[in-house]
């Protein structure tokens, strides 16, 4: 039996199945803004795949496949399915990329007041494979005839060992920021300004699935804000999510967790449908070219519309940002 918010009384909605408001057992809060992908797939099958319809004879498996492809495609820049992962930086100065990581949007560390400080990426370092060499600089091999590598490269060792309060200069020496009256006046002229950042730095090692941090971030609480592809995500985003398994509701009108399975914001419902229709039509043989082009235009038109609707731009928020830039705002 599908979950139906409309049939709930106000008391049932706010108190939930355990009759307690805001108890953590409230998966239905705000759910009316979403639609389940399974319902959307069923709508497409009933509306477009029956006899004498546009996609007559299209299998359910095809519609499901293109629905998942639409989720992935729209999650990158339309749904804005951004997640956040908070960890404390260990002595190794590394963190593993999340299992559903596609790309990062921001990295920050928080101070004791809970204020977030942006950590900027460094473009001047990496963690290459360090091949072992003998005294003659020849590569060394193991018993199987394969090259051997060190646990970490000299580049990474020097990067994480750099003093937290020091800034590299073009000649490779470090000047301590607290030494204001020593004989290095003017010594930072020409220094790389992107490295002169008290908030630290990081770089992403995509090959090994890790993020490396500078040494002044050890022990700090860091938050990685990143984009998921919408299919393997386990939390609600702005546009789409796949929710964790739920429980059975005690009330017969509240039978299942409403966030069970993939859900999509209603603002993007039509964009999802157009993506599915275009994908299914594109895979058919002897397809009408004009029909295909029409669906393609409709797909991108609905995608642009969904982006605008999900952007949630508010006049008050724009005003607040402009005030922060010391702009003269008239009301």
Count the alpha carbons within 13 Å of 69 in the hemisphere toward its beta carbon. 14
Question: Distance from CA of residue 216 to its chain's centroid?
Answer: 25
Tens digits of pLDDT across the chain (331 residues): 344 555 677 787 777 777 777 766 566 677 778 888 888 999 999 999 988 899 999 999 999 999 988 988 887 777 766 788 999 999 989 999 988 888 888 899 999 999 999 998 887 777 788 898 988 989 999 989 899 988 778 887 777 666 444 444 444 444 444 444 445 555 566 666 656 678 888 988 888 888 989 888 999 999 999 887 766 543 344 444 443 332 223 333 334 454 456 778 888 899 999 999 999 999 888 888 899 999 999 999 999 998 888 876 666 666 666 666 554 545 4
pLDDT of residue 73: 85
Task: Give CA separation, 222 vs 42, 84, 120, 261, 283, in Å.
Answer: 42, 10, 12, 30, 45
pLDDT of residue 299: 94
Distance separating alpha carbons of residues 33 and 79, to the nearest angstrom? 13
pLDDT of residue 174: 47
99 exposure class (CB count in 10 Å sphere: 0-12, 13-18, 19+):
exposed
pLDDT of residue 232: 55
CB atoms within 10 A of CB 125: 19
pLDDT of residue 89: 93
Considering the entire predicted model, what is its pTM? 0.58
Tokens of 185: 């006046």
Distance separating alpha carbons of residues 136 and 290, to the nearest angstrom? 68
pLDDT of residue 79: 74
**Cβ proximity of 241 and 264 under 8 Å:** no
pLDDT of residue 328: 52
Q: Parse the chain into domains and list their residue ranges.
A: 32-80+234-324, 82-227
Distance separating alpha carbons of residues 283 and 69, to the nearest angstrom? 13
């Amino acid at each position: 039996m599908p979950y139906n918010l409309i049939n709930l009384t106000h008391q049932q909605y706010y108190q939930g199945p355990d009759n307690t408001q805001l108890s953590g057992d409230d998966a239905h809060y705000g759910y009316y803004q979403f639609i389940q992908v399974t319902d959307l797939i069923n709508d497409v099958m009933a509306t477009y795949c029956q006899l004498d319809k546009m996609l007559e004879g299209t299998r359910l498996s095809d519609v499901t496949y293109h629905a998942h492809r639409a989720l992935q495609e729209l999650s990158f820049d339309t749904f804005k399915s951004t997640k956040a992962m908070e960890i404390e930086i260990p002595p190794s100065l590394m963190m593993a990329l999340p299992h559903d990581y596609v790309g990062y949007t921001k990295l920050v560390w928080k101070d004791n007041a809970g204020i977030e400080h942006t950590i900027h990426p460094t473009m001047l370092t990496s963690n290459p494979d360090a091949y072992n060499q003998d005294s003659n600089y020849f590569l060394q091999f193991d018993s199987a005839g394969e090259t051997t590598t060190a646990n970490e490269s000299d580049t990474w060792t020097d990067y994480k060992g750099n003093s937290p309060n020091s800034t590299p200069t073009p000649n490779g020496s470090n000047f301590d920021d607290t030494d204001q009256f020593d004989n290095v006046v003017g010594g930072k002229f020409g220094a790389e300004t992107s490295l002169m950042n008290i908030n630290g730095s990081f770089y992403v090692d995509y090959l090994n699935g890790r993020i490396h941090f500078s040494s002044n971030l050890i022990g700090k609480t860091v938050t990685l804000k990143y984009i998921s592809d919408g299919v393997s995500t386990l939390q609600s985003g702005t546009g789409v999510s796949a929710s964790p398994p739920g429980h059975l509701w005690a009330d017969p009108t509240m039978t299942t967790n409403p966030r069970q399975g993939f859900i999509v914001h209603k603002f993007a419902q039509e964009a999802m449908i157009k993506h599915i229709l275009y994908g299914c039509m594109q895979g058919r043989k002897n397809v009408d070219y004009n029909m295909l082009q029409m669906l393609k235009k409709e797909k991108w038109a609905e995608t642009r519309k969904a982006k605008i609707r999900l952007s949630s731009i508010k006049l008050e928020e724009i005003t607040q940002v402009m005030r922060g830039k010391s702009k003269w705002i008239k009301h």
